[in-house]
Structure 1
Amino acid sequence: MDIATLVGIVSAFALVLSAIIMGGGLGMFINIPSMLIVVGGTIGATMVNYPLRDVLSVIKVVKNVFFTKVWSTQEVVDRFVEFANKSRREGILALESEVPSLTDPFLVKGLQLTIDGMEPEAIRDILETEIEYLEERHKSGAEILTTMATFFPAMGMIGTLIGLVQMLRTMSDPSTIGPSMAVALLTTFYGAVAANLVCLPMAGKLKKRSQEEALVKEMIISGIVSVANGENPRVIEQKLHSFVPPSARKSRFE
């Protein structure tokens, strides 16, 4: 689990709720009609804007915000130096014994193609195509969350207009002014909170995750192609270190 995401969301909501409670109580900020307008309106508008399968996929995308774990770049370097050493000592087919212990499907696929004797450039083409579609899926998820962040405040404004219309039509009855004004203001509040504390931060985290995952997969491609070409482990390490910041580089040959 990504602790930063969890701590960020919990702390943001905790601080907002604390300020509300200190200012007079939580009950006055709970309004079911306002929630229905903001949440229902946003979901409906999103379903109009995107195919149903894409909207449903947001559930899986949100799960990735909390639970996706990306390899560290140093882990990738170390693993491919080991592969290169074993391949040079025992032959490329010896790497088949490494496949069952691997948990990354992308690495397994690349290594299996190498073991099967496919040409290095053909392996690169296949794996790079997979990265392109992976980035497209991630981009789609982040785009839906960004769109929802646009709809939430818009639905809040619609709720505000509804509340104002209700208030103005019943000005002769003072008892109705308070509930109507509550709907008018709370819908804007709900929309702003949902957009700025949930959707936009999650969209930003997904974009960052996508960049990190694409970088690691590019490293894997470079490592796979180098192993398939039978390059020296030291050379492979130097190649993969080009993906790593200088301050984080650790050589196994020093």
Structure 2
Amino acid sequence: MDILSIIGVILALVAIIGGNHLEGGHINALLNGPAALIVIGGTLGAAFIQTPLPAFKRALGLAHWVFASPDIPLREGIGKVVNWSNTARKDGLLGLEAIAEMESDLFARKGLQLLADGCEPDTLRSILEVELVSRENSDLRAARVYESMGGYAPTIGIIGAVMGLIHVMGNLADPSMLGSGIAVAFVATIYGVALANLFLLPVANKLKAVILEQSCYREMLLEGLLSIAEGENPRSIEMKLEGFLD
């Protein structure tokens, strides 16, 4: 569980609601159904038009990473690579086949299987780099779905504001209709800006950070597998891979 993300959400809500209260406002003034419909519906509609279905599904699947990001065990990964290296020196590359069958990480399993099959280092690098880059690009496209919605939301909020003002101008002769129109106008702007800057853009950036950490872990595994293929000493491999640690 990412405690910093939880604190961030709570702090943002407390700051906005608390600031509104200190200024003498009421929470009911921030609740407006038509404004929410315009901003949320318009933002989602724009995202649907822009985004292919697989990327949008992937974006929904990655959302939980904001609060429960996957563990990136860099140091444990280095230890595993060193163990693989010791096994390869003792039993030969073919000895890695049994380890590959028990490995839960699909990327590492594929690399170990390639090593056990006697794959040349250059071929090993080209195969695993294609998978690494492909997976990273797929996840980054998913993260950019939230980033694009963060760009649309404030503009949709302005559209809602203009629509509210049009409603106001069309009912100047009826003072009882002015309040609701002005409320939609200003609340829609708040919804658009707040949705983008307190949720969508932070989510996109958090996902990008997690994705890049995962890519760093896979790059470390790739470098370790290549070192094993080239017959490097386990201690040398460990010292090399420690460069991936912060």
* Both proteins in one fold, TM over 0.5: yes
For 1:207 and 1:56, how far apart are their aligned partners in 2? 17
For 1:66 and 1:92, how far apart are their aligned partners in 2? 40
Aligned residue in 1 for 2:19: 19
2:8 pairs with 1:8: yes
For 2:242 and 2:47, how far apart are their aligned partners in 1? 43
Alpha-carbon displacement from aligned partner over 1:88-142 (angstroms, at most 9, x marks no partner):
1222233333335432111111111111222222111111001111121122122
User: Displacement, 1:218?
Assistant: 0.8
Amino acid paired to 1:188: T
User: Contact 1:6/1:66 (CA < 8 Å) preserved in 2?
Assistant: yes
Alpha-carbon displacement from aligned partner over 1:64-111 (angstroms, at most 9, x marks no partner):
333332423222221111111122122223333333543211111111
Aligned residue in 1 for 2:192: 191
For 1:221 and 1:49, how far apart are their aligned partners in 2? 34
Amino acid paired to 1:244: L
User: Contact 2:223/2:241 (CA < 8 Å) preserved in 1?
Assistant: yes
Q: Secondary structure at the match of 2:244?
A: coil
Amino acid paired to 1:106: F
User: Displacement, 1:55?
Assistant: 2.7
For 1:101 and 1:66, how far apart are their aligned partners in 2? 29
Q: Summarize the Cα distance change of 1:196–1:95 in structure 2 as closer, same or farther, 3 Å threshold.
A: same
Q: Summarize the Cα distance change of 1:36–1:74 in structure 2 as closer, same or farther, 3 Å threshold.
A: same
User: Contact 1:70/1:212 (CA < 8 Å) preserved in 2?
Assistant: no
| More displaced 10-residue stretch of structure 1: 154-163 or 202-211 | 202-211
For 1:117 and 1:20, how far apart are their aligned partners in 2? 66
Q: TM-score, normalised by structure 2?
A: 0.92
Listed as ranges, the matches of 1:20-169 within 5 Å are 20-22=20-22, 23-169=24-170
Amino acid paired to 1:16: I
User: Displacement, 1:21?
Assistant: 4.2
For 1:238 and 1:85, how far apart are their aligned partners in 2? 15
For 2:174 and 2:35, how far apart are their aligned partners in 1? 21
Identity of aligned residues (%): 36
Q: Secondary structure at the match of 2:142?
A: helix
User: Contact 1:110/1:221 (CA < 8 Å) preserved in 2?
Assistant: yes
Alpha-carbon displacement from aligned partner over 1:135-194 (angstroms, at most 9, x marks no partner):
211221222211101110011000000111111111111111111100000000000111
Unaligned runs of 5+ in 2: none
Amino acid paired to 1:125: S
Aligned residue in 1 for 2:173: 172
User: Contact 2:39/2:188 (CA < 8 Å) preserved in 1?
Assistant: yes
For 2:237 and 2:53, how far apart are their aligned partners in 1? 45
For 1:54 and 1:138, how far apart are their aligned partners in 2? 8
For 2:245 and 2:194, how far apart are their aligned partners in 1? 37
Number of corresponding residues: 245
Alpha-carbon displacement from aligned partner over 1:48-72 (angstroms, at most 9, x marks no partner):
2222333333211313333332423
Q: Secondary structure at the match of 1:68?
A: coil
User: Displacement, 1:10?
Assistant: 2.8
Q: Summarize the Cα distance change of 1:57–1:211 in structure 2 as closer, same or farther, 3 Å threshold.
A: closer
| More displaced 10-residue stretch of structure 1: 215-224 or 98-107 | 98-107
Alpha-carbon displacement from aligned partner over 1:187-234 (angstroms, at most 9, x marks no partner):
000001110011111111122112211111111001111112222101
For 1:90 and 1:101, how far apart are their aligned partners in 2? 17
Amino acid paired to 2:179: G
For 1:175 and 1:134, how far apart are their aligned partners in 2? 56
Unaligned runs of 5+ in 1: 246-254
Q: Secondary structure at the match of 1:24?
A: coil
User: Contact 2:58/2:139 (CA < 8 Å) preserved in 1?
Assistant: no
